[in-house]
Amino acid sequence: MTPLPEHEINKGFLGRLVQTTTEFLGLEISSLGSTTLSRKDLQKGVEPDECYCITNEENVRGKYSNYC
């Protein structure tokens, strides 16, 4: 199913808001796009439209397929 234009507009706005805010606050950020976030204990995962690691980026570096 193709996302509606309103969805894409809101996604873009929220992405710019996150990036601008973290830049203003001087926080490290990694933008992971629509990566799959999975939890083995739940035996399932989710795929967000956009994913950001902000405060804990150093702690999860290299573990993006598990959690963010």
Q: Is the full-model pTM beyond 0.95?
A: no
Residue 4, both tokens:
């509606």
**For the residues 27-54, what does the mean pLDDT come to?**
76
Query: What are the extents of the domains in the chain?
Result: 5-60
Q: How many CB atoms lie within 10 A of CB 53?
A: 20
User: How many other CB atoms sit within 10 Å of the CB of residue 50?
Assistant: 14
- Name the residue among 46, 16, 50, 45 with its Cα closest to residue 33: 50
The answer, yes or no, to whether residue 63 has pLDDT greater than 90, is no
Mean pLDDT of 6-16: 88
Mean pLDDT over residues 8-13, rounded? 88
Q: Which residues of 4-37 are buried (b: 16+ CB within 10 A; e: fewer)?
A: eeeeeeeeeeeeeeeeeebeeeeeebeebeebeb
